[in-house]
């Protein structure tokens, strides 16, 4: 059985770009069964950056979006640049 990724793809909007620049947060669309703990563990494993807090919201279209706040200042912009979303 193949293990599925919890983090599906980065959510790129004006709002999420502003959060990345001002609040050191990055947003990802996540699997429908994802929990805060699973998102935190996979993000830390994949990017080797410590996570301070995770908030998860559902959109009206049914997407599940995780807003991930990072411990180190400026790291969200670094990750966004690496993913070519900023």
pLDDT value at 18 more than 50: yes
Task: State residue 51 phi and psi, 5-degree precision.
Answer: -100, 135
pLDDT value at 21 more than 50: yes
Q: Which domains does the chain have, with CATH numbers?
A: 7-82 (3.30.70.330)
Tens of pLDDT along 64-76? 999 999 999 999 9
Share of the chain above pLDDT 70, in %: 97
Mean pLDDT of all residues in 54-60: 97
| DSSP secondary structure code for residue 62 in this structure | S
Tens of pLDDT along 5-14? 899 999 999 9
pLDDT value at 2 more than 70: no
CB of 19 within 8 A of CB of 25? yes
């Amino acid at each position: 059985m193949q293990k599925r990724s919890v983090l599906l793809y980065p959510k790129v909007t004006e709002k999420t770009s502003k959060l990345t620049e001002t609040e050191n947060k990055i947003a990802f669309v996540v699997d429908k069964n994802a929990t805060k703990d699973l998102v935190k563990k996979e993000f830390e494993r994949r990017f080797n950056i410590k996570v301070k807090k995770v908030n998860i919201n559902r959109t009206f279209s049914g997407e599940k979006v995780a807003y991930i706040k990072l411990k180190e200042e400026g790291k969200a912009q670094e990750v966004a640049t690496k993913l070519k979303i900023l």
